A and B are shown apart, each in its own frame.
Chain A
Amino acid sequence: MSKDFNMLFAGFGGQGVLFAGKISAYAGLYDNKNITWLPSYGPEMRGGTANCSVCISDNPIGSPCVVSPDVFIALNLPSFEKFKNSVVSGGTMILDSTMISEKCDRTDIHIFYIPASQLATENGLDGLANIILLGKMFKETNFCTQQSLETALENCISKRKQHLLLPNKKALQIGMDF
């Protein structure tokens, strides 16, 4: 039996927190896992802090609320401060270091700093820091198979927005290579 993943994505509304979570969820689905995707909703989606819980498991999933993530993706400073101590010991934290200049003082978890927003801008991929972080998360955790991740990305981009597929693939690759 492979490992279960309880993931938390957190940032500002509009940074693609829910979308990154959705791709992860689909990737888990394509690996024939049980998955849940639970967004925050309401006013925080419209500019406040937004977060999204994703569980991937071989077993039926009980609570879909991720209180103690083993993978935490932080896209802004308030989210980093709010959740940094909730990550389980031995877990993984990935930060957009363009948005979060602080360092995490925890020594019992794996921490990766990636200037995702800066990398996005440098590569003409503004707004795709979320996908760069997703690529990094895949590289560091192997939460799904690469094929499922790529299929998930393709299927989550609607037919009307196919012109965004290539930039998204590029962003994913940048994250995986970092």
Chain B
Amino acid sequence: MNNKVLMKGNEALAEAAIQAGCRYFFGYPITPQTELAAYMAKKMPKVNGVYLQAESEIAAANMVLGAAGTGVRAMTSSSSPGISLKSEAISYMAGCDIPALIVNVQRGGPGLGGIQPSQADYWQATKATGHGDFQILVFAPATVQEMIDLVGLAFDKGDEYRIPAMILADGMLGQMMEPVTIPEHTTQHLVEKSWACCGHQNKRKHNVLNSLFLTPSELEKLIIERYKRYDIIKEKEQRWEEYRLDDADIVLVAYGASARVSHTAVDIAREKGYKVGLLRPVTLWPYPTKAFTTLKETARAFISVEMSMGQMVDDVRLAVECKKPVHFVGRTGGKIPTPMEVVDKIVEVGGMD
């Protein structure tokens, strides 16, 4: 017998946040994310933390903006329609350089959509989580254990670069249970937050966190400075995982739940004799373009596997510099592709010589 326990993905995200030192959770219920908030409601009082169910998603996200502005680790979680509501506050956090954690356990959209698993918020997470010139860190776990591991990392990297961070999960990962080991107190990289608005007690100049700059030159300068930081992140923080890529002619590219399905599809297709492997982005922003450096020369074709209409295809095309064809297979609206649907696509692409 081992020391592993079974946890739902949603509960694992919550426990990991507490272990990472987060003591401020502001949320609003929505399926399929609700177990995260429910876990926080139970556990936060026991660790002298704050659990607050706000009157709306908008309020919850702005509470995170305020709390994180004092330098504490704060977070919110929701599912797709709720993230749209939170996007205003996320833009303000980016504009004020305030790090915080936002969890999106995606469901089908647009609009209220459905409640079944989806990855249709890829564009929203990686291109436009709100208005204005900005990016946030986006981490895409594929196992419940990784949901735990990436929460700590998201807080650490957010603090390090003063940037909001998102865990982009989906209903399948949120609802499923897997064995996990919970590391205690993963907070190892607490950085000094000299910018925090936490009371100057007349000992220092007061800090200001603000996103309003009416002088264009001043705003432009600030944004350019911020983009220099983004360049450092793009250089240093790309993360991905490779599976059976050594001799791969065909490369599946998939993250999160789709990567689980693709993993099974690779095994089935390998048995049929196809030289296929899986490249799994762990960071969606920064996109792991470095992972493609050799593959874009050695592989024959790429297939983006998604639970959306193919939102990641363009990022794969850019990463392979259009040197090789990029195909797409996926389902949307709350449907999860079966491994055989992916295998069929591999066979189709494999037969294109």
Determine the chain A residues whose CB is within 8 A of the CB of B49 once the complex forms: none
Is B48 part of the binding interface, using a Cβ–Cβ cutoff of 8 Å?
no
Docked CA distance A151–B1 (Å): 10
Instruction: Give the number of chain A interface residues (Cβ < 8 Å).
Output: 22
B175 to A, closest residue via Cβ: A41
Q: In whole Å, how far is A69's beta carbon from the nearest beta carbon of chain B? A: 13
* Contact between chains at B267 and A42 (CB < 8 Å): no
Determine the chain B residues whose CB is within 8 A of the CB of A22 once the complex forms: 6, 177
Given known A63-B339, A65-B336, contact A36–B176 (CB-CB < 8 A): yes
A21-79 CB contacts (< 8 Å) to partner B: 22, 25-26, 29-30, 32, 34-39, 41-42, 60-65, 67
Given known A25-B6, A62-B339, A63-B339, contact A37–B264 (CB-CB < 8 A): no
* Contact between chains at B115 and A42 (CB < 8 Å): yes
Query: What 0/1 pattern do residues 273 to 300 of B give for CB contact below 8 A with A?
Result: 0000000000000000000000000000
Q: In whole Å, how far is B109's beta carbon from the nearest beta carbon of chain A? A: 16
Q: In whole Å, how far is B260's beta carbon from the nearest beta carbon of chain A? A: 5
Docked CA distance A62–B115 (Å): 22
Q: Which of B172, B179, B262 contacts A64 (CB 8 A)?
A: B172
Docked CA distance A30–B6 (Å): 11
* Contact between chains at A29 and B4 (CB < 8 Å): yes
Determine the chain A residues whose CB is within 8 A of the CB of B336 once the complex forms: 63, 65
Q: Which of B32, B263, B264, B339 contacts A41 (CB 8 A)?
A: B32
Determine the chain B residues whose CB is within 8 A of the CB of A37 once the complex forms: 6, 176-178
Given known A26-B6, A30-B1, contact A35–B264 (CB-CB < 8 A): no
Q: Which of B4, B31, B116, B261 contacts A62 (CB 8 A)?
A: B261
Docked CA distance A25–B8 (Å): 12
B-binding residues in A (CB < 8 A): 22, 25-26, 29-30, 32, 34-39, 41-42, 60-65, 67, 151
A-binding residues in B (CB < 8 A): 1-2, 4, 6, 31-32, 115-116, 171-172, 175-179, 260-265, 267, 336, 338-340
5 closest Cβ pairs, A-B complex? A62-B264, A62-B263, A37-B177, A38-B176, A63-B261
